[in-house]
Amino acid sequence: MNQELKNLIRSVPDFPKKGIDFKDITTLLKDKNGLNDVLEELCNLAKNKGITKVVGIESRGFILGGALAVKLGAGFVPVRKPGKLPAAKISESYILEYGTDEIEIHKDAILPGDNVLLHDDLLATGGTMQAACKLVEKLGARIVQVSFLIELSFLNGREKLQGYDVKSLINYDNE
């Protein structure tokens, strides 16, 4: 499974800047069998766990996150970059290689009784997802699972997500 799916992902060297090997999932998304396979796999990992909300991270986490929410019979909640959400919200900043970044969620998007699945396309250093988990916990919900299509395990992003049930479908263990 890992290798068949890997064949559908395009690696683009030095994008968006030198030294980054960008994993382009558009080549997988346009393949109807590939798209269906990853959605089924992600859904199988998360089903029967009582998930009430799927939180997707801007922007590529919206694609499979939205589809997953429908398949799981859950609601969908976007976590967005600053300035995009129109109503009352909370923010969390996190550290990047150079500087910091911030993400936001609507205050009323998640309720204390919610069982949440967080989803993004790719786990690199884990900073983005760690911040997203903090937002969900600030709103009092329980994090049931954190899932990714792709994991770059050589960057050790899981260290930032200790204590959560972290799943990924495709792993790259070296650069």
Please tell me the count of residues contacting ligand AMP according to CB under 6 A. 16
- Report the nearest approach of ligand AMP to the CB of residue 48 (Å): 27
Spatial separation of the C-alpha atoms in residues 78 and 58, rounded to whole Å: 7
DSSP-assigned letters across all residues of 63-83: HHHHHHHHHHT-EEEEEB-TT
Which one of residues 157, 166, 168, 170 is an interface residue with ligand AMP (CB under 6 A)? 157
DSSP structural state of residue 84: -
Q: Which is nearer to ligand AMP, 23 or 80 (CB)?
A: 23
Spatial separation of the C-alpha atoms in residues 139 and 104, rounded to whole Å: 12
Stretch that binds ligand AMP, among 1-9, 82-90, 116-124, 163-171 (CB under 6 A): 116-124
Tokens of residue 142, six digits: 């329980």
- Report the nearest approach of ligand AMP to the CB of residue 168 (Å): 11
Spatial separation of the C-alpha atoms in residues 12 and 70, rounded to whole Å: 31
For residue 21, state whether it binds ligand AMP (rule: CB under 6 A).
yes
Stretch that binds ligand AMP, among 37-45, 67-75, 114-122, 139-147 (CB under 6 A): 114-122
- Report the nearest approach of ligand AMP to the CB of residue 14 (Å): 11
* Residue 113 CB contacts under 8 Å (≥ 6 apart), including other chains: 52, 141
Do residues 79 and 103 lie in contact, with contact meaning Cβ atoms separated by under 8 Å? yes
For residue 104, state whether it binds ligand AMP (rule: CB under 6 A).
no
Q: Which residues of this chain interact with ligand AMP, rule CB under 6 A?
A: 20-23, 57, 60, 120-128, 157
